[in-house]
Amino acid sequence: MTLRDPLSRHIETVLERHLPPPSPPLTEIHEAMRYAVLGGGKRFRPRLVYATAHLFGISQDLADFPAAAVEFIHAYSLIHDDLPAMDNDDLRRGRPSCHRAFSEAIAILAGDALQAQAFAVLNHTPITLTDPAAIVEATRFFAEACGSTGLVGGQTLDLDPHHQPQSLGELTDMHERKTGALIRAAVLLPYLLAPNHRPDEKNDLDRMARALGLAFQIRDDILDATADPVTLGRAPGGDESRGRATFVTLLGLEEAHRRLEETIAACRSALARFGTRSGILESLVSHLSLSEGAKTGPYSKPQGPTSYN
């Protein structure tokens, strides 16, 4: 995927639109926010938002708001993950991490500001596009996904040297929070904002989202154990070198590959009820596969924003 992909260009435009300009007297903090958000990346989470929006017939104009909100939270989490008090990483997406490019204090504040900006953007969803009650419900759900029982809770468990996961169940639970909660939010926010959404479809969508978050993390652990720094955009083997459990250290590389494909199959099974409506979402699921011949989806066959309307 490159910025020649029409959807990538659209996402960058949306993100920049919702970021404050780097003007005095807050030039540095706003530059740090923009550095962290606009510094590249596959934009997997906002892509999920647009894919689910397509599934429920939601306009691109409506999907822009949760897409930006989800990516702002993701960027904030990466800034804080890289800090010396957490993972102490010098690189992110192939360039200096935010606290190296600016300062530790500015990086912390940039992360704080992006978290607040995410909720500001979500709450600016025009009521002409959806029901006000839906915005309230979506905001509450999003807060839970980002908070101490979701993303922050998962990071807390990951950092605690005295409570490192010893079993597959414990590792899965941690990553359902740390990685999975935000991916689940990217999938379910459009559903919650969709006018006249059907409650009976939520269980299958949620089942898919949970499996997708797990697949994403298993894939990340495999790449962390096998890929080079250029491919990763960061130093590989970080979790293992810190003594943290991963799906590769618990299962072994071969079994982790098998578990990844099994989890991707579970995603597809959950999407089956939606039929051809789920084509764009299923292509994102397929992209996570590391098996030969599985590289299909919007990164190898780009879909522009107009495909989602």
Please, what sign has the CA dihedral across residues 151, 183, 60, 22? positive
Per-residue pLDDT of the chain (309 residues; tens, 9 = 90+): 444 588 999 999 999 999 999 999 999 999 999 999 997 888 999 999 999 999 999 999 999 999 999 999 999 999 999 999 999 999 998 899 999 999 999 999 999 999 999 999 999 999 999 999 999 999 999 999 999 999 999 999 988 887 788 889 999 999 999 999 999 999 999 999 998 788 889 999 999 999 999 999 999 999 999 876 655 555 555 555 566 889 999 999 999 999 999 999 999 999 999 999 999 999 999 999 998 544 433 333 333 333 433
For residue 49, give the CATH number of its domain.
1.10.600.10
Q: Does residue 307 fall inside a structural domain?
A: no
Give the per-residue pLDDT at 243: 67
Strand ranges inside the chain, DSSP E:
91-92, 95-96
Residue 128 CB-density burial (10 A; 0-12 exposed, 13-18 middle, 19+ buried): exposed
Bridge partner residues of 96 (DSSP): 91
Contact between 177 and 154 (Cβ < 8 Å): yes
Residue 91 CB-density burial (10 A; 0-12 exposed, 13-18 middle, 19+ buried): middle
Q: Which residue type does 38 have?
A: L
Q: Does residue 1 fall inside a structural domain?
A: no
Q: Does residue 234 fall inside a structural domain?
A: yes
Contact between 167 and 175 (Cβ < 8 Å): no
Contact between 121 and 69 (Cβ < 8 Å): yes
Give the per-residue pLDDT at 297: 36
Q: Does residue 305 fall inside a structural domain?
A: no
Q: Indicate the number of domains in the chain.
A: 1
Q: Which residues span the domain enclosing 64?
A: 6-300
Please, what sign has the CA dihedral across residues 112, 114, 119, 124? positive
Q: Does residue 96 fall inside a structural domain?
A: yes
Bridge partner residues of 92 (DSSP): 95
Give the per-residue pLDDT at 162: 79
CB atoms within 10 A of CB 33: 27
Peptide bond into 25 cis (omega under 30): yes
CA 137 to chain centre: 20
